[in-house]
Structure 1
Amino acid sequence: MKQIALTLIIIISACAVTLAQTFAKIDTTASVVVWKGSKVGGEHHGNLNLKSGKLIIEDQKITGGDFTVDMTTITNSDLTSKKWNKKLVNHLKSGDFFDTKNHPDAYFKINDISTAPSGNAGEYTISGDMTVKGITKPISFPAKVTIKDKLLTAKADVIIDRTAFDIQYKSGSFFDNLGDKLIHDNFELKINLTANLE
């Protein structure tokens, strides 16, 4: 009898967890990803499009999820010359950088979410696996998340070391005497996500 009761408790608990878990589908048209890279004496920035994504929600908090970035959509926003704008974008798509012909997508999978050191409501540290050019590395970054009714919004500033993904072009970590041709290893992604809870 005790065994039956214990089994029922386990089943009921499992059902309760399942019911508490919901999903939020990322609205790719409303979400924005802005990239920024810097070099000696200047910087460039532009946009990337999200291809797809979903988040797992439990008790009004994100507990997991993943999303895909379409690297072929990379644009530049600061160069007004069409010639130089196109030249930069094509270079970013080439093998020197993201090699979008062979690796059109980048991926991120959430592995862990913890309360940010600030302790402020809605502020978290997100850790997970980032895949660029077929190479997967762990990264962590701060994020601010708001859930109201059926709408989730999130903002994050992500710093990525490009050399971890075999992007070594004009990196001071691999080449000497680059002078003013040096391109910094870290690039930044400013992410604004909008997702709809199911």
Structure 2
Amino acid sequence: MKSAMQKIAVVLIAFFFCIQSSAQIFLPVDAESSVKFSIKNFGLTTAGHFAGLKGKIQFDAGNTTSASFVVSVDAASVNTDNNTRDKHLLKEDYFDVAKYPLINFTSTSVNKDAAGKFLVTGNLSIKGVTKQISFPFTAEVQNNGYRFSGSFIINRRNFGVGGNSMVLADNLQVSLDVFAKKD
């Protein structure tokens, strides 16, 4: 009797371990990904992007309980197709890249809804300020990896970016299209 109970316990523990560790590790591919933003400046939409995407993504579309995203971009890579503006964005009143070289995101939860879309919640750190954000995303299997796509809106002032500029809008849109391959 005791032997049968031990076998059942071992099987249950092994099953639980397999469920918990089913998420695979994926690494973002910077060259095949984009981290874009747009914001109103003097009433006109200004767009740009970041490069230097790095990190580790643990993901299984069928079981999000062990999913996690720990990613960053190089703040100094900001590119708006205007060299003068880009140099200004590197300075202390914007991204202060000398002191804060990375923009980081670390997820705290990932959930899947009935329609098959995902919702990630996590901590976004820009310029030494960390705020919790949530946004929907899709995950499409591609070439031994996943393509993750999503977008969110943040208030730049919450992160101390851009000071009290009267010509720069407070809110900006961030759009993500990230290809991550199996580690």
- Name the TM-score, length of structure 2 as normaliser: 0.86
Is 1:23 aligned to residue 25 of structure 2?
A: yes
Is 1:88 aligned to residue 82 of structure 2?
A: no
Is the Cα contact below 8 Å between 2:103 and 2:127 reproduced in 1? yes
Aligned equivalents of 1:157 and 1:32: distance in 2? 11
User: Which residue identity is paired with 1:120?
Assistant: A
Identity of aligned residues (%): 19
Is 1:105 aligned to residue 102 of structure 2?
A: yes
* Aligned twin of 1:11: 13
Question: Once superposed, what is the RMSD of the aligned Cα atoms?
Answer: 2.2
Cα deviation for residue 7 of structure 1 reads: 4.3
Aligned equivalents of 1:149 and 1:15: distance in 2? 27
Gapped regions of structure 1 (runs ≥ 5): 78-84, 172-180
- Counterparts in 2 of 1:153 and 1:27: CA distance versus 1, 3 Å: same
Paired residues in the alignment total: 179
Deviates more, 1:127-136 or 1:38-47: 38-47
Structure 2 residue corresponding to 1:120, chosen from 100, 110, 115: 115
User: Which residue identity is paired with 2:111?
Assistant: S
Q: Note the alpha carbon deviations across 1:99-146, whole angstroms, 9 max, x for none.
A: 111101010011112235xx432x222110001111111011121211
Gapped regions of structure 2 (runs ≥ 5): none
Is the Cα contact below 8 Å between 2:74 and 2:103 reproduced in 1? yes
Map residues 1-198 of structure 1 onto 2, 5 A cutoff.
Answer: 1=2, 4-5=6-7, 7-17=9-19, 20-58=22-60, 60=62, 63-77=67-81, 85-116=82-113, 119-121=114-116, 123-148=117-142, 150-171=144-165, 181-198=166-183
Cα deviation for residue 58 of structure 1 reads: 2.8
Cα deviation for residue 8 of structure 1 reads: 1.5
What is the SS of the residue equivalent to 1:102?
coil
- Name the TM-score, length of structure 1 as normaliser: 0.80
Aligned equivalents of 2:163 and 2:42: distance in 1? 14
* Aligned twin of 1:175: none
Aligned equivalents of 2:131 and 2:80: distance in 1? 26
What is the SS of the residue equivalent to 1:141?
strand
Aligned equivalents of 2:43 and 2:124: distance in 1? 29
